[in-house]
C-alpha cells in the first residue's frame, strides 16, 4: 500500500524489470525521470486576509431583511407574472424581480458602479406546470474580473426567488417561500453586497432565477444561454432551502452544518464519456464533485469548526430537484447547498393549521444566523476561486505502457497567475484528497513512484499567495483498457 511517509524515495533504481522491458519495446526518449516525493499539506495554505475581512461583513440582519422583504410579495409563483391583479397590487413574482434588481443596483451604487446589473427575460413556453406562455425574468449582477487575462473565468452563485404553495398553479394565496427559496436568494444577494467591495482577478456572477418550482425553467434558460455564448463558467453554487429550519420540538436539526450535494456521473456525459469514466474508475471525480471537495477544504480554512459542510455524494435529495442540475446538464460543474434536515410541513404547503401542525414556509422558521453561515461558505468559496489561477490545461496521465510509476503532463495554467502546481492524490476508496506535492511553475510534467492503478491523481494551479485552482483529474494519453476478452487472455491477465 501507499505510504504517506514516502518522502525521499529516489527511484530510477526502483524501476522494475517489466517496466524496463516495456521501455525497450517502445523507446520513449523524452520520458521524464521519476523525482523524489516531498509532500506538503493538502489543505495547508494561509488564509487570505481580504477573504477573512469580507466574511466578517456577512450580516444575518441583512439576510433577515432580504427574506422578510421577499415574503411581503405574498406569492412569488412564476405564473403570477401573468396575474394582472397581483401586478397592479405590486405583488407577485414580477414585483419581486424588480426589487431584487433594485437591490443589486444599490450594491453597485455603493461600489461606484462596479456591478453590471442585468436581466435575462424570456417567455417560457407551455409545459407541464406552465399552462400558458409565461414571462420569466432571471436577475443577475456581474462583478467583472480585474485581470483581463483571467476575467473570462466565471464563478456563479444562485438561488431561486420564485415560491409556491400546495398548488403549483396558485398565484394568489400566500406562498411565503421564506426558506424555499428566499433563503438562497438572500445568500446570493449577500455575497453580491459584500464581495462587490473587493476586486478579484476572475469574474463573479450573483444570480437569482425564477421558474424553479415550475421545472427549473429559469436556470435552464440561463445555463443554455451561458453554454451558447461560450461562457467559461467553472463553478455554480446553488443555494436552495438553506434556512436552517427551526421547528419547535425538533431535536434532530443540526445548525453546525449544511449539506452540499454533487453529482457523480455528470448529467452531460455522452456515451463515450461514460465509457471513459467507467474504465478510469472516475465515478467519484466529476467537476461537480471536485467543486464540492473545494467547498469543504475552503470551509476548513475560513470557517470555524462549529460550521462545516457535509458533502453528500448524490445529485440531489430523493423526489426533489434543483437548479444546479440545469447547469450540470449544460456541462457546468455545480453543487447544491441545503440545510441538514428539512421539515416538509414547511415547504410547498398552504399556510394553515391542521391537526395541531403548523404548515407553511414561514419566516419564523428561518434561522438567519444559520443562513449567514451558509453565505460565508459560499462567499469564501467564490472569493477563493476568483482569486486563484486558472486550472492547468490539458492534464494527462500517461497510459501508453505498463509501469508502476505515474507520469502526468499538463499545459501551463492560462492567465499567467500560477507560481507553482500541486499534484494531489488520494487512495481510490477515500472521499477527500489526502496528499499533495509542489511542482515548480516552469514544469509541465512529473513522474512519481506511485502506481496510477492505486490512486486518483489531480493537478491544481497555485498562485504566490496560496490560492488554489479547482483540481483537474487527468485524462489518459493512451488507451486505458484491453479491447476485449481475447486480448485480455493473450496478455496474461
- The site for Zn ion (CB under 5 A) is made up of 180-181, 240
Distance in Å, CB of 446 to Zn ion, minimum:
44
> Which is nearer to Zn ion, 285 or 361 (by Cβ)?
361
The grid coordinates listed for 219 are 436556470
> Which is nearer to Zn ion, 179 or 257 (by Cβ)?
179
Distance in Å, CB of 180 to Zn ion, minimum:
4
Distance in Å, CB of 338 to Zn ion, minimum:
9
Sign for the pseudo-dihedral over CA of 220, 98, 208, 349: negative
Contact residues for 154 (Cβ-Cβ < 8 A; gap 6+): 202, 203, 204, 205, 226, 231, 232, 233, 234
> Which is nearer to Zn ion, 180 or 234 (by Cβ)?
180
> Which is nearer to Zn ion, 181 or 190 (by Cβ)?
181
> Which is nearer to Zn ion, 74 or 324 (by Cβ)?
324
Q: What are phi and psi of 343, to 5 degrees?
A: -110, 105
d(CA 380, CA 50): 10
Edge-to-edge strands, sheet with 153-160? 115-124, 134-143, 203-209, 153-160, 232-239, 334-339, 258-262, 310-312
d(CA 39, CA 51): 26
d(CA 40, CA 448): 15
End-to-end CA distance of the chain: 21
Contact by Cβ (8 Å): 410, 394 = yes
> Which is nearer to Zn ion, 124 or 468 (by Cβ)?
124
- On the CB side of 170, CA atoms within 13 Å amount to 16
Distance in Å, CB of 241 to Zn ion, minimum:
6
Among 454, 464, 470, 333, CA closest to 395: 470
| Stretch (H or E) spanning 236 | strand 232-239
Q: Enter the DSSP assignment of 127.
A: B
> Which is nearer to Zn ion, 153 or 348 (by Cβ)?
348
Q: With 0-12 CB in 10 A as exposed, 13-18 as middle and 19+ as buried, what is 475? A: middle
> Which is nearer to Zn ion, 97 or 143 (by Cβ)?
97
Taking CA atoms, 351 is separated from 167, 173, 175, 253, in Å, by: 12, 9, 8, 22
Distance in Å, CB of 323 to Zn ion, minimum:
8
> Which is nearer to Zn ion, 223 or 417 (by Cβ)?
223
Amino acid at each position: 500500500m501507499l505510504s504517506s511517509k514516502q518522502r525521499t524515495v529516489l527511484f530510477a533504481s526502483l524501476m522494475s524489470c517489466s517496466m524496463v522491458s516495456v521501455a525497450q519495446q517502445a523507446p520513449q526518449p523524452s520520458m521524464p525521470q521519476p523525482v523524489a516525493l516531498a509532500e506538503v499539506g493538502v489543505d495547508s495554505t494561509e488564509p487570505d486576509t481580504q477573504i477573512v475581512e469580507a466574511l466578517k461583513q456577512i450580516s444575518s440582519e441583512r439576510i433577515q431583511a432580504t427574506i422578510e422583504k421577499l415574503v411581503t410579495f405574498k406569492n412569488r409563483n412564476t405564473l403570477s407574472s401573468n396575474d394582472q391583479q397581483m401586478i397592479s397590487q405590486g405583488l407577485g413574482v414580477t414585483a419581486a424581480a424588480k426589487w431584487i434588481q433594485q437591490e443589486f443596483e444599490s450594491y453597485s451604487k455603493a461600489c461606484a458602479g462596479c456591478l453590471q446589473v442585468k436581466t435575462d427575460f424570456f417567455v417560457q413556453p407551455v409545459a407541464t406546470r406552465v399552462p400558458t406562455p409565461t414571462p420569466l425574468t432571471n436577475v443577475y449582477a456581474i462583478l467583472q474580473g480585474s485581470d483581463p487575462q483571467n476575467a473570462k473565468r466565471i464563478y456563479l452563485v444562485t438561488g431561486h426567488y420564485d415560491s409556491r404553495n400546495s398548488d403549483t398553479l396558485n398565484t394568489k394565496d400566500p406562498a411565503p417561500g421564506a426558506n424555499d427559496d428566499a433563503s438562497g436568494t438572500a445568500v446570493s444577494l449577500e455575497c453580491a453586497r459584500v464581495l462587490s467591495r473587493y476586486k478579484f482577478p476572475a469574474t463573479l456572477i450573483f444570480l437569482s432565477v425564477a421558474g424553479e418550482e415550475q421545472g427549473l425553467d429559469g436556470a435552464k434558460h440561463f445555463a443554455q444561454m451561458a453554454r451558447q455564448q461560450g461562457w467559461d463558467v467553472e463553478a455554480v453554487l446553488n443555494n436552495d432551502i438553506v434556512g436552517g429550519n427551526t421547528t419547535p420540538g425538533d431535536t434532530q436539526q443540526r445548525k453546525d452544518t449544511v449539506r452540499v450535494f454533487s453529482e457523480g456521473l455528470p448529467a452531460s456525459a455522452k456515451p463515450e464519456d461514460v465509457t471513459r469514466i467507467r474504465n478510469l474508475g472516475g465515478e467519484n471525480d466529476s467537476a461537480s464533485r471536485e467543486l464540492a471537495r473545494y467547498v469543504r477544504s475552503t470551509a476548513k480554512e475560513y470557517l470555524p469548526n462549529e460550521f462545516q459542510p457535509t458533502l453528500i455524494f448524490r445529485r440531489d435529495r430523493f423526489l426533489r430537484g434543483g437548479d444546479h442540475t440545469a447547469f450540470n446538464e449544460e456541462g457546468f460543474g455545480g453543487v447544491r447547498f441545503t440545510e441538514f434536515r428539512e421539515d416538509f410541513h414547511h415547504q410547498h404547503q398552504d399556510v394553515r393549521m391542521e391537526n395541531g401542525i403548523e404548515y407553511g414556509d414561514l419566516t419564523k422558521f428561518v434561522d438567519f444566523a444559520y443562513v449567514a453561515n451558509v453565505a460565508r461558505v459560499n462567499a469564501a468559496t467564490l472569493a477563493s476561486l476568483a482569486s486563484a489561477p486558472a486550472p492547468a490545461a490539458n492534464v494527462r496521465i500517461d497510459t501508453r505502457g505498463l509501469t508502476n510509476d505515474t507520469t502526468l503532463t499538463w499545459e501551463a495554467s492560462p492567465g499567467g497567475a500560477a507560481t507553482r502546481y500541486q499534484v494531489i492524490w488520494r487512495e481510490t476508496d477515500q472521499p477527500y484528497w489526502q496528499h499533495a506535492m509542489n511542482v515548480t511553475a516552469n514544469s509541465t510534467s512529473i513522474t512519481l513512484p506511485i502506481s496510477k492503478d492505486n490512486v486518483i491523481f489531480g493537478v491544481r494551479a497555485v498562485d504566490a499567495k496560496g490560492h488554489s485552482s479547482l483540481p483537474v483529474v487527468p485524462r489518459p494519453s493512451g488507451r486505458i483498457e484491453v479491447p476485449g476478452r481475447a486480448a485480455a487472455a493473450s496478455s496474461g491477465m
